Structure 1
Amino acid sequence: MKKHIKITEEPSLYDRLEEMPSLDIVRNINNEDRKVAEAVEKVLLKVAQLVDETAIRFEKGGRLFYIGAGTSGRLGILDASEIPPTFGMPYDRVIGLIAGGDTAIRKAIEFAEDDLEQAWKDLQEYNINSNDVLVGIAASGTTPYVLGGIAKAKEHGILTAGITNNPGSPLATGSDIAIEVNVGPEFLTGSTRMKSGTSQKMVLNMISTALMIRIGRVKGNKMVNMQLSNTKLVDRGTRYIMEELGLNYEEAEKALKQYGSVKNAVDALK
């Protein structure tokens, strides 16, 4: 019986890469990247379903967890780490975990992704429960670390979702909500940090941003709950208040610093 070849491992549509001029290399990469948004468009219903289901649990105090290995794990951590500064949420509401632990963020940990049991052990440290949502991220859809975590979560009544670039993969079939983004073969054969990783980043942006909008962390089109952690953000918040309340810059800045956020300042003064 012929072994099934994963889409993420199929040969590139391009060959003799080492013979290409640099302009051709980057042009061809760009040509492939154009396909990513179209592939993501095909899974929007699933992404929206995940957002709505997560919002219901979030309003009850639940959390959103991401698990992955390598690039996928790093992208989950990246998305989670942006939630507190962008939306003013506590750090323990959206949590990203990577096979091999925090060391693996910068340095690959050999065979960490091959442990079926470790993800659940990692999640137990956070007392994950049925109020939470677990999203597994794996381009191949076969990463043991992710599959083991998803399987255990389902056993405990936790809503699960899988983001994968191989439709029909074990991650897709084993998750409650399967987000299968078929971006085709990579420009550099098997290098899923490229189109696959780009698609994952796009989907994660959608999930977290839409979730924060759904639970009221955005007003109009503004990040009214962002942390004021640097001069740029203080200036941005000041301008938001000027626009909303018709104050001059000095008045708006004073209000922002007094009330601690755009939302609090506007609610207090409007």
Structure 2
Amino acid sequence: DQPVAVLELREPAGQPMGDVKIGVDLEISDPVELEISGCFVRGDADLIVLEQAAPSDCAISNSVIALRGRLLHVLGTKNQLPDGARNRLQMNHVTCLLGGSLIDVDTGDLPRQVNPIHVRSARNNIFAVDRESGQPLVKMEGNTNTEDFRDLLMWAEGERNFYDEIDEFWRIQSLPEAFFEPETLDFSAWKQHWQTDEVRAYNGSIEWAVDWRNEPLGQLTASDVALDGEALANPAIAGAADMSDAGANLETPQFPRRLSTIEQ
């Protein structure tokens, strides 16, 4: 099924899939630039779906992403990829509450071609994925070898990220190696893998003012995703590099809030 997405980047209209001749060197076009700042995105969808050969550059800051799907869903293309093209992602002070993975790469049966995902920086964020279904932070599956899948992700300048009790941080299921168990990394292995590109990270219980997991994501407001300031221990509070709270600044007026009876 075609995933529903807030933003979808596909091949240009009129360009048949797989129409590029193999062996032809392609020039890298300017990346499609996306900037999300001061936003509250909520509902039953993915945030971004990528189905193109062209590179992309997405920056998300001071925003809440509360979606039943994934933040970045990469499906790739049958077309040849330009050499050196990347899908870049930056996140700073983002509260990310997802039913799916943060990054989900699916190369399918063919397989489809996928530009590497370069997380250029990830700082002062809160990440939560669905616990009941055991979603990993990063998921890769399809007719691609495990080693090639590993080469698709670059994570740089990760600092002061807070993960809400995530069990698996990276899961790779290669169809050619389906008789093997998926390759997985837990939090300790994730930090060891990225070393200085994931520092001062926390994975454990984050105390919320409201149990937002019991609420429809499409109806959440700023008060539903606020941190519990009364909790005895809540490391995300004043946990950012500038001593502010990690995640989005919910005091800014653009975030939706519930009206009191008098205001209504």
Larger helix percent: 1
Pairwise same-fold verdict (TM > 0.5): no
TM range (shorter): under 0.3
Task: Specify which structure has the bigger relative contact order, considering alpha-carbon pairs within 8 angstroms and separated by 6 or more residues.
Answer: 1
The structure richer in strand per residue is 2
TM-score, with normalisation over the residues of structure 2?
A: 0.25
